[in-house]
């Protein structure tokens, strides 16, 4: 597998834990040219990862001083602890901070610890605390607030949103060019990406959209809603939801939805966990039962519910529950998938909105790593992968004057397949024209098919 940069240009990174999150991180960071060492207790995991990538592997306890020294902690730039144990992850980071001079990132999933993230970051000196279940729940709740969307990604501290949706048959967008839409739509937004027949386009004004295309566009929340309403796409949030499974992700999601005033029903097999959830979430309805039983789903109102979210520990169950719900109800369905073994098959099923927790986690860490790599005049704030990782949407904070500042955008010699989609200037969202400029203090969102950008100047040809 080819890397984007050479190793000498990359950071020295130690990853503790080679499971779902760890292996996805290693794949992403390896592509970006970093020097990686993985630590895991299971020799089979180490063997698999070292066979797949040109990395160093050590079998052992990542919290051990001896093991960390063997992994080169004294010269490491970053340690990322993503084992299944919160306590072990925090201990790994504590040892690393005491022995080395590196930054440290910990995966922390337990709700009790998640409430203490600011304290943990400050006292343990952590660069980041990442919680895949919590981040997944946030993404799901954003989609349920706008259920016509397939994806909802947030920029500019939540003031701008990148929305992905499929153009239905007979919609007014069918057969119209991007330039035409810009003249007829009274909303400040820009179409960034079009997916059609397996191909991905960063569209110019001449591009003609068609029914069946999947569009991603960006704008302020108000303009996003205005655009969707003008083209006849429903914009109301869901009133109620059924969640199958009562794990950590279900708890975080139910908490967020209840806070938004959405009625929540959780169906969970384990009686003890049901009792815990009833105490933790007194406003939710908790049903003890098997969410894969069709009779129970009918009894609990799947045919009339606004949304349905399977969050079991099994991808196969989640997919089958989604397909069943789409067949028997009009509910908005969101599917959580942890493994990626049959991604092409999953894509062909047209499951609608799919959440991959491991990617959400990896994107936040990759954005941090890119920002850490000696940015010249800007820092990466946010990174999302779109269109099956073929497009990146990045948000940069402009910290100093540079060749991209103070010059009208139409005069900049930008790379092809790239769009400056949004500028956040003092809380005001600007959808830029060619006459606009980038200024120090701005937060700039770039959408591109290029990968590996670390600085806003990378947009220049």
Q: Could you tell me the domains of the chain? A: 7-130 (3.40.50.720), 138-230 (3.30.70.1450), 240-355 (3.40.50.720), 364-459 (3.30.70.1450)
Rounded to an integer, what distance in angstroms lies between the CA atom of residue 106 and that of residue 133? 14
What number of other Cβ atoms are within 10 A of residue 206's Cβ? 8
3-state secondary structure of 38: strand
| Tokens matching residue 83 | 């084992």
Task: Give CA separation, 95 vs 56, 85, 89, 91, 102, in Å.
Answer: 20, 16, 10, 6, 11
Cα 51 to the chain's mean position, in Å? 28
Instruction: Give the separation between CA 197 and CA 171, rounded to whole angstroms.
Output: 18
Non-local CB neighbours of 116 within 8 Å, separated by 6+ positions:
none
Phi, psi of 161 (to 5 degrees): -135, 140
Residue the block writes with tokens 């969050």: 311
Distance, CA of 249 to CA of 263 (rounded, Å):
17
Q: 153 near 208, Cβ under 8 Å?
A: no
Hey, CA dihedral for 132, 134, 139, 144, is it positive or negative?
Answer: positive
- State how far the Cα of 374 lies from the Cα of 430, in Å rounded to an integer: 28
Residue 265 CA: distances (Å) to CA of 240, 246, 250: 8, 10, 10
Contact 58, 38 (CB under 8 A): yes
Return the bridge partners of 128, or none: 105
CB 168 within 8 A of CB 211: yes
Cα 356 from chain centroid?
8
Nearest in space to 200 (alpha carbons), one of 390, 423, 3: 390
Contact 444, 394 (CB under 8 A): no
The pLDDT, as a whole number, for residue 439 is 95
Q: What is the dihedral of CA 447, 342, 26, 90, to 10 degrees?
A: 100
In angstroms, rounded to a whole number, what is the distance separating the alpha carbons of residues 184 and 187? 9
Closest CA to 16 of 26, 27, 7, 8: 26
In angstroms, the CA 30 to CA 44 distance is 20
- Answer whether 178's CB lies under 8 Å from 207's CB: yes
- What residues are paired with 215 via a beta bridge? 165, 194
What are the 10-residue block averages of pLDDT along the chain, 461 residues in total?
48 94 92 94 96 96 96 95 95 93 92 82 89 92 93 90 93 91 83 92 93 93 91 92 95 96 96 96 96 93 96 91 93 87 71 86 87 70 88 93 93 94 93 93 95 90 87
- Phi, psi at residue 282, to the nearest 5°? -60, -25
pLDDT score for 5: 42
Angle of CA points 196, 199, 200, to nearest 5°: 90
DSSP 140: H
Q: What is the pTM of this model?
A: 0.86
By C-alpha distance, which of 199, 236, 231 is closest to 217? 231
């Amino acid at each position: 597998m080819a890397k984007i940069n050479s190793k000498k240009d990359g950071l020295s990174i130690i990853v503790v834990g080679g499971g779902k999150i760890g292996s996805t991180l290693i794949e992403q960071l390896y592509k970006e040219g970093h020097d990686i060492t993985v630590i895991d207790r299971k020799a089979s995991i180490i063997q698999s990862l070292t066979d797949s990538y040109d990395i160093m592997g050590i079998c052992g306890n990542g919290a051990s001083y001896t093991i960390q020294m063997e992994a080169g902690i004294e010269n490491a730039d970053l340690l990322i602890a993503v084992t299944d144990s919160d306590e072990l992850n925090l201990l790994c980071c504590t040892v690393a901070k005491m022995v080395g001079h590196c930054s440290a990132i910990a995966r922390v999933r337990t709700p009790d610890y998640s409430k203490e993230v600011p304290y943990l970051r400050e006292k343990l000196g952590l660069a980041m605390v990442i919680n895949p279940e919590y981040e997944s729940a946030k993404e799901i709740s954003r989609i349920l607030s706008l259920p016509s969307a397939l994806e909802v990604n947030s920029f500019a501290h939540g003031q701008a949103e990148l929305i992905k949706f499929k153009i239905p048959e007979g919609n007014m967008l069918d057969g119209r060019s991007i330039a035409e839409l810009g003249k007829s739509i009274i909303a400040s937004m820009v179409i960034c990406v079009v997916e059609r027949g397996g191909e991905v386009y960063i569209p110019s004004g001449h591009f003609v959209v068609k029914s069946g295309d999947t569009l991603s566009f960006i704008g302020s929340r108000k303009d996003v809603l205005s655009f969707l309403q003008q083209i006849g796409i429903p914009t109301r949030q869901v009133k109620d939801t059924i969640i199958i499974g009562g794990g950590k992700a279900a708890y975080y999601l139910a908490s967020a939805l209840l806070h938004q005033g959405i009625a929540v029903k959780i169906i969970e097999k384990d009686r003890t966990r049901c009792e815990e959830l009833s105490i933790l979430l007194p406003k939710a309805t908790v049903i003890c039962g098997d969410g894969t039983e069709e009779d129970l789903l009918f009894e609990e109102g799947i045919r009339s519910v606004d949304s349905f979210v399977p969050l079991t520990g099994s991808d196969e169950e989640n997919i089958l529950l989604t397909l069943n719900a789409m067949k028997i109800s009009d509910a908005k369905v969101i599917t959580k998938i942890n493994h990626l073994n049959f991604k092409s098959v999953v894509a062909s099923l047209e499951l609608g909105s799919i959440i991959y927790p491991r990617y959400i986690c990896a994107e936040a860490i990759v954005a941090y790593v890119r920002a850490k790599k000696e940015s010249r005049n800007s820092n990466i704030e946010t990174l999302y992968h779109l269109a099956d990782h073929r497009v990146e949407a990045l948000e940069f904070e402009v910290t100093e004057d540079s060749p991209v500042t103070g010059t009208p955008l139409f005069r900049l010699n930008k790379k092809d397949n790239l769009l400056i989609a949004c500028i956040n200037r003092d809380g005001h969202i600007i959808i830029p024209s060619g006459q606009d400029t980038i200024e120090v203090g701005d937060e700039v969102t770039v959408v591109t098919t290029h990968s590996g950008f670390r600085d806003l100047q990378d947009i220049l040809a």
